[in-house]
């Protein structure tokens, strides 16, 4: 980007930048500037960017042994003093749990080979560590490998996977998200797609344990969300106890259901939930757990094509079918089934969602050969829509039987 | 050729002992004031988590992280958890220790809170810290909004339901997209300017350009509306930008460094009422409330005022447990706009059916709208 018009002289610019930075250190919310003062980050570049109202960074390259996950920037020519910035996207631990001994190792690396600055979580779900300079980049990768993590997940590749905390710390998890997350990472094909960028655009895979969708799987290119089929399970005994103890307000429970599927039987003191109307909004479960629990028939809903960056803008995913909670291997196969037609046909810089918008969901499902439980399909032409045609004998018989049955019920 | 990465792949290795023991056995949770949750397991074990806000963009120095690690060793179970929203959770086994951790953290200057009816956190993209395509600095906007909304995070002023704010520096929406309660997105405001001296780096050489069909040029492919086209000027073929067709999505800038802007055109759009979770009326993208207002560093008074105004309207009028999107759904958009004080915008929504829900299909220079809006606020 060229220098903005009317930029003051370098000395004045730096002075003004310092003023802006000081202003950002004030206030009750934790300040990023105060944090970065403790590190080797070139703050004057950031300050100049604020004054100029333009990003002070330009593209740069750094040569390392990794093809993805390494990003470098250099200050624009109008930034007095100049500066450079190299950062790594480092894989997070499952569930993003950091034992302190592991965290201390990471801090040590960041101090020795980096500038002491860490972004705890990037939007991909990776932890971002700033590197001291281009010459120590390879050393940093070796050091990170030694403590059992690595660098990767940028560019047109599969990005860092992301899972919600799941059964590790949450009672609502409907399948083992962390197990799925780890199984995906272990798979050779996924591993290769993370290390070598070869797809039309980025591809994100996320795992959410329940419909509350903490990992934001509905917004990923391929999301797995835990759901159940039918109505939630109600433990009437426990619920009655909860109502007596005033822990649960049953009328609020009934009124709060967005699908209006709950009715309260005052005489029997029983809660009835209509499973066919249940929208899985988790409203009653959140309020009365464990008296009301998700149903026994657990499934993992697969959604494809969400994302915020892409040709046609931000979109939510499309549902393409259910998997069972133990079918993680099938899910990995499904990933490549989904990727295949997109990789082959989509133009560069088109997300999976853009491709599905162009092709149509049904055509995409057909092309990818997706065949899951409850996969949406095109129904060629409904026979009921065609009034004129010769019906085969057995079909006529079916309708005759149907009429006979109705006749007995209605009794003319 | 592929390199074998050494990932963290063993779940067990990174889980604290008490969590490993109760994996998948949790049955209940209780709230102990803002920022502290108790998880109860069926084995009878109890775990307390304390949620603390990090600086915008989750930028922490090694020194601070070390202090966190010391705290986790001294009072906790020797482990931290980083959440998707850029907060840190400390894990401990007794309420006393939890309160001690809270006290120590507040001494360090980090607010504890953000569960239930509260602000859960502010996500921002990296913007001017590393990004080369951002048009506004989302990180300092995040800081300014955090300063103003801190009482909502720490529970001093309770909110009807969860509130989450994403701030992105450009329409790419890297801070988590627009599926959130309040999304603030940097807008170009005017069609980009082409820097002729850099453009050849992104285009095929002039001789080849004459032979390649237009549809095969990368930058032409990238533009979603066909605003970037090839024009013949004498015997030269040039890439030109048709301003009327441009929707300011920033995809050209994303793929080539040759596009530039004038800082005076740049502002932010504010979108409200989105949600990712299936609670209430279900997941949806946020809708455009303000298409353009200026972003004035370092304190961004205009943006902070509008965000605070919207939050206050929601806080004072919503039913308990009703998120911003549900609240707007219940009272209706025209009524909500009237409450915010932008009657002019209400008229615009009349001809803006579904398109209004994504900013990408809509562009405005905004001076007129903003003036009315600021008076209202």
Domain A162-228+297-368 grouped into CATH 3.30.413.10: yes
- Tell which A residues from 328 to 367 touch B, by Cβ distance under 8 Å: 347-349
What is the arrangement of strands in the sheet containing B46-53, beginning at the earlier edge strand? A97-99, B79-82, B87-92, B46-53, B36-41, B26-31
Query: How does pLDDT run across B47-88, given as a tens digit for each residue?
Result: 999 999 999 999 999 999 999 999 999 999 999 999 988 899
User: In which band, very low, low, confident or very high, does the pLDDT at B365 lie, cut at 50, 70 and 90?
Assistant: very low
Query: How does pLDDT run across A91-148, given as a tens digit for each residue?
Result: 999 989 999 999 999 999 999 999 999 999 888 889 999 999 889 999 999 999 999 8
Q: What's the confidence (pLDDT) of residue B87?
A: 92
pTM: 0.91
Provide, as residue numbers in chain A, all residues whose Cβ is less than 8 Å from the Cβ of B53: 29-30
User: Residue A325: how many CB atoms within 10 A of its CB?
Assistant: 15
Name the minimum distance, in Å, from the CA of B86 to any CA of chain A: 6
User: In which band, very low, low, confident or very high, does the pLDDT at B8 lie, cut at 50, 70 and 90?
Assistant: confident
- Residue A127 forms beta bridges with which residues? A90
- H/E stretch holding B188 reads none
Query: Above 80 in pLDDT, residue B372?
Result: no
DSSP string, A271-296: EEE-TTT-----HHHHHHTTTEE--S
Query: How does pLDDT run across A275-333, given as a tens digit for each residue?
Result: 898 989 888 998 888 899 999 999 999 999 998 888 888 888 999 999 999 999 999 99
Closest CA to B122 of B149, B161, B154: B149
The domains of chain B, with CATH numbers, are: 11-108 (3.30.70.3340), 119-190+262-376 (3.30.413.10), 193-259 (3.30.70.20)
The CA-based angle A154-A155-A159, given to 5 degrees, is: 45
Provide, as residue numbers in chain A, all residues whose Cβ is less than 8 Å from the Cβ of B80: 97-98, 100, 103
Query: Above 80 in pLDDT, residue B16?
Result: yes
Percent of chain A surpassing pLDDT 70 = 98
Q: CA–CA distance from B227 to each of A309, A310, A313, B191 (Å)?
A: 18, 16, 16, 10
Q: What's the confidence (pLDDT) of residue B350?
A: 52
Q: What's the confidence (pLDDT) of residue B2?
A: 53
Which tokens is B16 given?
Answer: 């604290």
Query: Above 90 in pLDDT, residue A388?
Result: no
CA atoms within 13 A on the CB side of B174: 27
The CA-based angle A406-A410-A411, given to 5 degrees, is: 110
Facing A171 at nearest CB: one of B26, B57, B260: B26
Taking the alpha carbons at both ends of chain B, their separation in whole angstroms is 59
Spatial CB neighbours of B89, under 8 Å, sequence gap ≥ 6: B49, B50, B51, B52, B80, B81, B82, B83
Percent of chain B surpassing pLDDT 90 = 45
Nearest CA in chain B to A178: B11
Query: Above 60 in pLDDT, residue B33?
Result: yes
Q: For the residues B153-174, what does the mean pLDDT come to? A: 92
Cα separation of A243 and A250, whole Å?
A: 7
Query: How does pLDDT run across A237-283, given as a tens digit for each residue?
Result: 999 999 999 888 888 889 888 888 999 988 888 899 998 989 898 88
Answer with the residue of higher pLDDT: B374 or A50.
A50
User: Residue B344: how many CB atoms within 10 A of its CB?
Assistant: 14
Answer yes or no: do A50 and B80 touch at CB < 8 A.
no
Q: For the residues B353-368, what does the mean pLDDT come to? A: 44
Spatial CB neighbours of A392, under 8 Å, sequence gap ≥ 6: none
B358 touches B243 (CB < 8 A): no
Bridge pairing between strands A205-208 and A162-163: parallel
Report, at the CATH architecture level, how domain A10-146 is classified: 2-Layer Sandwich (3.30)
Q: What's the confidence (pLDDT) of residue B357?
A: 45
Cα separation of B269 and B263, whole Å?
A: 15
- Tell which A residues from 66 to 85 touch B, by Cβ distance under 8 Å: 66, 71, 73, 85
Q: What's the confidence (pLDDT) of residue A383?
A: 60
Q: What share of chain B is helix, strand, coil (3-state, %, to 5)?
A: 40, 20, 40
User: In which band, very low, low, confident or very high, does the pLDDT at B115 lie, cut at 50, 70 and 90?
Assistant: confident
A233-293 has which CATH code? 3.30.70.20
Torsion of CA A140, A145, A148, A152, to 10 degrees: 80
Domain with CATH 3.30.70.2500 in chain A: 10-146
Query: How does pLDDT run across B314-326, given as a tens digit for each residue?
Result: 999 999 889 999 9
Cα separation of B229 and B1, whole Å?
A: 38
Cα separation of A202 and A197, whole Å?
A: 9
Q: What's the confidence (pLDDT) of residue B178?
A: 85
Query: Above 90 in pLDDT, residue B148?
Result: yes
Closest CA to B250 of B307, B191, B162, B338: B191
- H/E stretch holding A336 reads helix A328-345
């Amino acid at each position: 980007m060229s220098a903005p018009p009317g930029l003051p002289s370098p000395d004045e610019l730096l002075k003004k930048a310092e003023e802006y930075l000081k202003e950002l250190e004030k206030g009750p919310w934790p300040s990023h500037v105060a944090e970065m003062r403790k590190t080797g980050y070139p703050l004057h570049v950031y300050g100049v960017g604020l004054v100029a109202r333009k990003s002070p960074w330009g593209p740069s390259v750094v040569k390392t042994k990794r093809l993805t996950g390494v990003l470098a920037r250099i200050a624009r020519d109008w930034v007095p003093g100049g500066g450079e910035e190299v950062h790594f996207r480092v894989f997070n631990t499952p569930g993003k749990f950091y034992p302190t001994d592991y965290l201390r190792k990471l801090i040590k690396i960041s101090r020795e080979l980096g500038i002491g600055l860490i972004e705890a979580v990037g939007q991909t779900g990776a932890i971002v560590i700033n590197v001291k300079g281009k010459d120590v980049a390879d050393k940093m990768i070796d050091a990170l490998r030694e403590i059992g993590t690595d660098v990767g997940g940028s560019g047109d590749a599969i990005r860092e996977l992301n899972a919600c905390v799941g059964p590790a710390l949450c009672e609502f998890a409907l399948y083992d998200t962390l197990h799925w997350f780890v199984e995906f990472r272990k798979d050779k094909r996924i591993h290769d797609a993370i290390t070598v960028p070869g797809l039309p655009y980025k591809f994100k895979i996320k795992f959410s344990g329940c419909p509350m969708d903490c990992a934001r799987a509905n917004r990923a290119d391929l999301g797995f969300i835990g759901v159940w089929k039918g109505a939630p399970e109600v433990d009437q005994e426990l619920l009655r106890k909860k109502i007596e103890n005033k822990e649960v307000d049953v009328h609020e429970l009934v009124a709060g259901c967005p699908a209006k599927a709950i009715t309260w039987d005052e005489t029997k003191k029983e809660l009835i939930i209509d499973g066919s109307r249940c929208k899985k909004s988790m409203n009653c479960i959140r309020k009365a757990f464990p008296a009301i629990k998700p149903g026994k028939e657990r499934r993992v809903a697969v959604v494809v094509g969400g994302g915020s960056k892409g040709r046609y803008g931000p979109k939510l995913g499309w549902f393409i079918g259910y998997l069972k909670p133990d079918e993680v291997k099938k899910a990995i196969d499904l990933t490549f089934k989904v990727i295949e037609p997109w990789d082959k046909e989509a133009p560069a810089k088109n997300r999976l969602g853009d491709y599905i918008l162009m092709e149509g969901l049904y055509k995409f499902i057909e092309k990818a050969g997706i065949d899951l439980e409850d996969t949406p399909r095109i129904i060629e032409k409904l026979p009921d829509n065609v009034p004129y045609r010769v019906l085969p004998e057995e079909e006529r018989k079916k309708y005759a039987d149907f009429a006979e049955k109705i006749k007995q019920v209605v009794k003319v | 050729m592929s390199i074998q990465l050494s990932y963290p792949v063993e779940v067990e290795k990174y889980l604290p002992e008490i969590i490993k023991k109760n994996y998948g056995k949790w049955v209940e949770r209780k709230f102990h004031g803002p920022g502290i949750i108790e998880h109860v397991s069926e084995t009878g074990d109890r775990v307390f988590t304390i949620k603390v806000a990090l600086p915008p963009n989750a930028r922490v120095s090694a020194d601070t992280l070390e202090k966190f690690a010391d705290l986790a060793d001294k009072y906790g179970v020797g482990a931290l958890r980083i959440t998707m929203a850029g907060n840190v959770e400390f894990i401990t086994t007794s309420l006393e220790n939890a309160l001690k951790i809270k006290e120590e953290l507040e001494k360090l200057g980090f607010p504890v809170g953000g569960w239930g009816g509260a602000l859960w956190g502010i996500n921002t993209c990296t913007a001017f810290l590393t990004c080369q395509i951002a048009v506004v600095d989302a990180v300092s906007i995040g800081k300014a909004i955090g300063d103003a909304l801190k009482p909502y995070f720490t529970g001093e002023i309770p909110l009807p339901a969860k509130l989450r704010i994403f701030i992105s520096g450009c329409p790419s929406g890297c801070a988590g997209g627009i599926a959130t309660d309040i999304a603030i997105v940097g807008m170009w405001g005017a069609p980009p300017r082409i820097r002729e001296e850099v453009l050849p780096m992104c285009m095929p050489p002039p001789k080849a350009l004459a032979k390649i069909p237009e549809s095969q040029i990368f930058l032409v492919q990238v533009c979603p509306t066909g605003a970037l086209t090839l024009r013949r000027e004498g015997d030269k073929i040039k890439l030109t930008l048709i301003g009327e067709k441009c929707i300011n999505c920033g995809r050209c800038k994303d793929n080539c460094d040759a596009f530039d802007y004038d800082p005076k055109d740049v502002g932010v759009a504010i979108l409200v009422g989105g949600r990712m979770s299936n609670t209430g009326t279900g997941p949806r993208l946020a809708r455009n409330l303000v298409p353009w207002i200026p972003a004035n560093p370092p304190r961004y008074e205009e943006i902070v005022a509008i965000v605070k105004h919207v939050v206050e309207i929601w806080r004072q009028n919503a039913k308990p447990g009703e998120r911003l999107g549900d609240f707007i759904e219940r009272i209706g958009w025209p009524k909500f706009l009237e409450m915010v004080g932008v009657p002019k915008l209400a008229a615009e929504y009349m001809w803006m059916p579904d398109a209004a829900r994504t900013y990408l299909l809509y562009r405005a220079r905004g001076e007129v709208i903003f003036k009315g809006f600021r008076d209202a606020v």
